[in-house]
Amino acid sequence: MKQSGVVLQDDGARATPVLGFDVHIWRIALDTPISQMDLTALSPAELIRGSRFVFERDQRRYLAAHAALRTVLSVYIGQAPEELDLRQTSEGKPVLVDRSLAFNLSHSGELALVAVAAAGQVGVDIELIAPLSDEMSIARSLFAPGEVMQLESLTSDARRLMFYRFWTCREALLKAAGVGLSGVGLEIGMEANGEASILSPPLGLIERTRLSEFRPSEHHVAAVAWSARGPQAAARVFDFDNTACLDASAIGRRLAPAIKPSPED
């Protein structure tokens, strides 16, 4: 699986990130103490929902993820985070009212990802690589036959990693298309060179969708799918600072270089 080198660097571009045809992915650490978060970014509804979590860890991670989401979006739109009008579609996908900016949020364990594109469709998924009691039962109920066959050919540890790769790729594409987990018609291929490709897109996915995988940490896998509107479109990763001021020059640094996308559908 090819990916960018996940090494923090200050690229000198301390200004509002320019999307162009790219997709930007923000990596967010969720275990920041609540006392260090700027909760003014959150809506009253988000604060209420966060307070309902039984465990403090879950509350902290929810608040961090949603405060970061609003802060990231505010950078591109030029509006205060707390003023953003976020709604959900009938399928439960969050959208910005009266804005063309496309975005998606995913979290697993202590990390979250926010993917942002200028327009079109975008979906991102991150998963913590954790032991599963029977990944093959899950795969047989949700994955395409070809994906199941590839999993069956692998030994235990390799199978677990491949399962999560299939899962994140499928989830990213399905979130981009705005459809459920069953993913009618979707099939992912894992090429001999280790890259994922879209063998058959799900219903609802527009043409020229690209798929990229990367490792946000040693213990996570992730994938992003987006509407590539140009041949040089790339997925670029930034690291979010939960404690920074709500200021385009301070919220993050880029991870380098760009992620190489899979071939277009």
CB-hemisphere CA count at 13 Å for 211?
36
127 pLDDT tier (thresholds 50, 70, 90): very high
Q: Which of 61-65, 187-191, 200-204, 245-249 has the lowest mean pLDDT?
A: 245-249
Residue 103 CA to residue 122 CA, distance in Å, equals 6
Q: What are the b/e assignments for 59-88, b being 16+ CB within 10 Å? A: bbbbbbbbbbbbbbbbbbeeeebbebebee
Per-residue pLDDT, averaged over 119-132, amounts to 93
| Contact present, 265 and 226 (Cβ < 8 Å) | no
- Indicate if the pLDDT at residue 7 is higher than 50: no
In the structure, what pLDDT confidence band is assigned to residue 106 with cuts at 50, 70 and 90?
Answer: very high
What's the pLDDT score for residue 120?
Answer: 87
**Highest mean pLDDT pick, 176-190, 193-207, 209-223:** 209-223
pLDDT value at position 219? Answer: 95
Cα gap 238→235, rounded to integer Å: 10
pLDDT tens digit sequence for 36-95: 888 888 999 999 999 999 999 999 999 999 999 999 999 899 889 999 999 887 777 788
Q: Which of 1-10, 27-36, 127-136, 183-192 has the highest mean pLDDT?
A: 127-136
**pLDDT for residue 234 is more than 80:** yes
**Is omega for the bond preceding 257 within 30 degrees of 0, making it cis?**
yes
pLDDT of the residue at 195: 84
The yes-or-no verdict on residue 26 having pLDDT over 70 is yes
State the pTM of this model: 0.85
**Cα maximum dimension of the chain:** 51
- Residue 182, pLDDT score: 61
Portion of the chain with pLDDT greater than 70, in percent: 82
Taking residues 90-119, what's their average pLDDT?
89
Average pLDDT, whole number, for the chain? 82
Q: Which is nearest to 104 in space by CA: 88, 85, 90?
A: 88
* Domains of the chain, each with CATH number or no CATH: 7-259 (3.90.470.20)
Percentage of the chain with pLDDT > 90? 49
Q: What confidence tier does 216 reach under pLDDT thresholds 50, 70, 90?
A: very high
* pLDDT band at 209; cut points 50, 70, 90: confident
